[in-house]
Structure 1
Amino acid sequence: MSEPVRPAVVNDDAVRTALAQHLSRISGSRTEITSFGRKSSGFSWITYVFAARSAADGDRMLILRVGPPNGLFAPYSVLSQVYALQLLAGSGVPVPALVSFEQDGAEFGFPFFICTHVEGDVPAPWAASELDPDHKRSIARQFVEILASLHRIDPSATPFASLQQGEERAEVRAIAGWRASLARPTARYYPLLDWGGRWLEDNCPQPPCRTIVHGDYRIGNFIEHNGRITAILDWELTHLGDPHEDLAWAMMPTFNARSRKLYGVLERAEVIDLYQRTSGIAVSDKSLAFYEAYALYQAAAIQMCAVRAFEVDRFNDLRLAVMASQMPSIVRAFERALEAAA
């Protein structure tokens, strides 16, 4: 039996029709989509917010996320996000409730999942200066405490263990993957990234323990409402690995309005102290320095993936087109981070 023909691009009208059919099928009740719109935030999965009405479930506000065929990290898998939402429901890590998902995306033509809509705002790192410092401090401390809660979960009993491929460590495999991405003919060539990627792969430290690593844990990837973080978002890069990876990524100045302080308010030493006390995991200065260098290397690779998605794969998001302009500053920061880690 031949594979179904997949659409080359995501058509919003077709997605809306398929969505109504899918929800009607899984609920056993005719479902009407009463409002539907694409959100502009995010650079990878396409996100829609919509209202659904049915006799079985009444009126609901929901979120649909679709993995486009020409997106930043195509081809997509929903498994890491689905596993996270299932595993963390009711835990100390707030996440939206999962409603439905399909990896093969037969009804839509693309992998997708549906979750509940969580009230609140997604803070923009560059707008942090407009917020009250005491409010930011409270949110930043919650942010660190939630990360500690995630890292306290025993990963051996979670579905993420099934995503591991053989004996190779996920972080080493990830570095090799980013190296391969940067070596593609369509990527700009930066000699320092070529050498630095090799150094990272050869010098990756052993983790103090294996934890669930979010993979994109940063300001801007959570929802806050009435002074509380109500949901952690974007679990597509989640894997088992070294907890230093999340900590280093969260503290990158890029995600903190170019500040060396988390959310512009928490000093590095305060973040590390709070994390150690709440997670029970000792932070290694050497490992953290390594992952700070790795974070910048990964950021550079993502920039190049974005440029490729726009120029080669025709992903229609003008924000991706300008990402190459950020490369010089990232490469300079990567050079300094490598010196600190070596």
Structure 2
Amino acid sequence: MQDATTRTDGSPAPGPVRGPDTVDDDTVRAALGRYLTRTSGHRTEITHFSRKSSGFSWITFGFEARSASGADRMLILRVGPPNGLFAPYSVQPQVHALQSLAGTGVPVPALVAFEQGGAEIGHPFFICEHIEGAVPAPWAASMLADGHKRAIALQFLSILGKLHRIDARATPLATRPDKSDERAEVGAVAAWRASLARPTARYYPLLDWGGKWLQDNCPLPPRRTIVHGDYRIGNFIERDGTIVAILDWELTHVGDPHEDLAWALMPTFNARSRKLYGVIERAEVIDLYQRASGITVSARSLAFYEAFALYQAAAIQMCAVRAFEVDRFNDMRMAVMASQMPSIIRAFERALEAAA
């Protein structure tokens, strides 16, 4: 029998615990001022600088850049911490997504600057425009009127359709060589398998076996599209009943569009409802999406990606637990994520049976 620290790929037992490695807000603020002064050629003062509480991965700051040139701007800074959920961080997926989608009809913040090497700040970061509006919490859907939620959900599906109509081959996201023996959608499954195979204190046999089954049985996509990777209620800004920006493009890749649809349908992101935003039935969601995207949804592929969504959710939980327990990322929300694993694994088992 396999013990709790041995994986099917032979990965080693957990290593020693590292000390805390944090991002200091005052240090970031001072470094940001130096960076913008250098790159703009004008002395820039950082005011109204504050850390945003939302999000589990990149650390987000809002600020005003006051320049000697007289051009004051409200901006957003996102920093990849060295001990965060998906460390080590790369700015490329988000930068490529924002560059690719500007002017396409998919609403995204305008990219201002980015540095993979960290420049003065010392950690990977990017800066984008600040967009006024509210970010809806998925669990607070019951507080909103059904008519409002339906209007937002219809826009949500329309934007997803626009995203999946874009020719990914003509964008910066298409950086991977087009080789006949490589499938990007299989690569997405393999990446999460590798994440779960990292040395952590917890091992789940069903995830080990299920991940291999997913990789071996990944269906061919109807076409390869830009996949957001975390397209859900709560990852957009709305203002006056309109979605004005889709957020959090760090998991963006080229793959099967069923992946985004399956993720959006997860009850976790719909206040535990099987209806999108608690108001649109599954059959109508599929019909609306097909019309918006021009893609015929495969029941088999959707079932596969619903299983994959739960597998991915389990992998993210384990990333969070590792970030808190091993890398000492100071966010108490991550500390409780291990308690959610039993329910995720039970749901994953049922989803695998439906997909097989």
Bin for the TM-score computed over the shorter chain: over 0.9
Alpha-carbon separation, structure 1, partners of 2:124 and 2:256: 28
- From 106, 116, 139, the counterpart of 2:152: 139
Residue 91 of structure 1, CA deviation = 1.6
SS in 2 for 1:160: coil
The residue correspondences of 1:304-319 to structure 2 (distance < 5 A) are 304-319=318-333
1:3 corresponds to: none
Give CA-to-partner distance per residue, 1:60-83, whole Å, 9 cap, x none. Answer: 111000001101111111011111
Residue 186 of structure 1, CA deviation = 1.3
2:192 corresponds to: 178
Q: Which amino acid aligns with 1:206?
A: L
Alpha-carbon separation, structure 2, partners of 1:258 and 1:221: 17
2:27 corresponds to: 14
Residue 57 of structure 1, CA deviation = 5.0
Q: Which amino acid aligns with 2:346?
A: R
Alpha-carbon separation, structure 2, partners of 1:272 and 1:224: 23
**Correspondence 1:92 to 2:109:** no
Alpha-carbon separation, structure 2, partners of 1:312 and 1:278: 44
- The answer to whether the Cα contact below 8 Å between 1:98 and 1:116 also exists between their aligned partners in 2 is yes
Higher relative contact order (CA 8 A, sep 6+): 2
Alpha-carbon separation, structure 1, partners of 2:113 and 2:257: 29
The residue correspondences of 1:182-201 to structure 2 (distance < 5 A) are 182-201=196-215
Residue 9 of structure 1, CA deviation = 2.2
| TM-score, normalization by structure 2 | 0.92
Residue 239 of structure 1, CA deviation = 0.5
SS in 2 for 1:326: helix
Alpha-carbon separation, structure 1, partners of 2:276 and 2:177: 31
The residue correspondences of 1:255-270 to structure 2 (distance < 5 A) are 255-270=269-284
Residue 168 of structure 1, CA deviation = 2.4
Alpha-carbon separation, structure 2, partners of 1:12 and 1:170: 37
Give CA-to-partner distance per residue, 1:95-144, whole Å, 9 cap, x none. Answer: 01111111111211111000011000000000000001000000000000
Alpha-carbon separation, structure 1, partners of 2:70 and 2:88: 33
Residue 289 of structure 1, CA deviation = 0.2
Residue 174 of structure 1, CA deviation = 2.3
2:219 corresponds to: 205
Identity of aligned residues (%): 79
Alpha-carbon separation, structure 1, partners of 2:117 and 2:67: 25
2:131 corresponds to: 118
Report the aligned-residue RMSD. Answer: 1.3
Alpha-carbon separation, structure 2, partners of 1:185 and 1:247: 31
Larger CA deviation: 220-229 vs 187-196: 187-196
- Listed as ranges, the gaps of 5+ residues in structure 2 are 1-19
- From 63, 68, 73, the counterpart of 1:55: 68
Residue 192 of structure 1, CA deviation = 1.1
1:4 corresponds to: none
Larger CA deviation: 307-316 vs 191-200: 191-200
Count of equivalent residues: 336
SS in 2 for 1:50: strand
- The answer to whether the Cα contact below 8 Å between 1:187 and 1:304 also exists between their aligned partners in 2 is no
